[in-house]
């Protein structure tokens, strides 16, 4: 399985990362619905599809380009370079990602621009500060030890847990 994944990553990097993001976002949402949602409620498959499609259409491709650019901009794994990458990820990327996430969910739920703007205004700070509690240590490990080509797989593995939080925040 590992060899097949790496072969796919080599031949189709964006598609492979998009599919792993789809799986991570779908799994996180299903966990959120099943274990943290209303007891006995049926799975909201439209909601799950929105989360999965966000992973496929936006998270996977943007993650591919963002992490690749970050590694080209800041080469190496010294502590100062790792800290710089983590800072850029959390100070610059986290707010953009969070607003992008809320926008995508809102528009795929057919909410108005005003409603989406309100969601972004009301919940982006919570999303970003939640990110600050979860991702700095994870990304320090990521940027210090994980090869660039494998970064999104590592992120998506951890993202399943974080997606439970995003799913709850995005769907409240």
Q: Please state the rounded mean pLDDT for residues 83-87.
A: 98
pLDDT tens digits, 123-163: 999 999 999 999 999 999 999 999 999 999 999 999 888 87
Query: Residue 167, CB half-sphere, CA atoms under 13 Å: how many?
Result: 31
**In the chain, % of residues over pLDDT 70:** 100
pLDDT tens digits, 27-75: 999 998 998 888 889 999 999 999 999 999 999 999 999 999 999 999 9
| Residue 126, C-beta contacts closer than 8 angstroms, at least 6 positions apart | 169
pTM comes to: 0.91
The pair of three-digit structure tokens given for residue 85, joined into one six-digit string: 């990458």
What is residue 146's three-state secondary structure?
Answer: coil
Closest CA relative to residue 74, chosen from 82, 64, 66, 62: 82
User: Where does the pLDDT of residue 164 fall: very low under 50, low under 70, confident under 90, or very high at 90 and above?
Assistant: confident
């Amino acid at each position: 399985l590992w060899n097949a994944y790496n072969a796919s990553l080599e031949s189709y990097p964006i598609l492979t990362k998009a599919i792993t993001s789809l799986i991570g976002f779908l799994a996180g949402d299903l966990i959120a619905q099943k274990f943290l949602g209303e007891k006995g409620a049926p799975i909201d498959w439209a909601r799950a599809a929105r989360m999965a499609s966000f992973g496929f259409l936006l998270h996977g491709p943007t993650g591919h380009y963002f992490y690749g650019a970050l590694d080209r901009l800041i080469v190496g794994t010294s502590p100062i370079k790792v800290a710089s990458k983590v800072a850029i990820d959390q100070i610059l990327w986290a707010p953009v990602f969070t607003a992008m996430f809320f926008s995508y969910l809102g528009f795929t739920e057919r909410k108005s621009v005003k409603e989406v703007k309100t969601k972004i205004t009301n919940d982006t700070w919570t999303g970003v500060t939640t990110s600050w509690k979860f991702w700095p240590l994870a990304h320090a490990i990521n940027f210090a030890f994980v090869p660039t080509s494998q970064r999104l797989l590592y992120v998506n593995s951890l993202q399943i847990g974080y997606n439970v939080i995003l799913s709850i925040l995005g769907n409240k």
